[in-house]
Amino acid sequence: MLATFAGIQPQTPGFKKVLIRPQLQKLESVKGNIPHWAGDLIVDFKKNGNQLTGTVTLPTSITGRLEWNGKVVELKSGENRVSVH
């Protein structure tokens, strides 16, 4: 269920790059981790109107992108602080 609300899916074969499109619906926040072969993917999002803030932590050698309301944020390995309006 976390993968659905957090919107986490592979962007490349082998899950070396992830695509995160949060689908919070009426939820105001979502937090958790998803196992990955290189380590856990950890998300902690808070929604306030059209604004999304929080952190995304990706395992070493894994990159990704966050998409929210038509905006794109490139993500690197390690902790990424995000704030998207």
The predicted-structure confidence for 27-73, as pLDDT tens digits, reads as follows 999 999 999 999 999 999 999 999 999 999 999 999 999 999 999 99
CATH of the domain at 13: 2.60.420.10
Statement: residue 3 has pLDDT above 80: no
- In the chain, the number of structural domains is 1
Sheet strand arrangement including 29-34: 29-34, 41-48, 51-58, 78-84
pLDDT for res 63: 97
**Burial annotation 16-33 (CB, 10 A radius, 16+ → b, else e):** eebebebebeeeeebebe
Residue 38: domain span: 2-84
* Location of structure tokens 């992108």: 65
Per-residue pLDDT at 15 exceeds 90: no
| pLDDT at 1 (0 to 100) | 64
pTM for the model: 0.91
For 44-65, letters b (16+ CB in 10 Å) and e give: bbebeeeebebebbbbeebebe
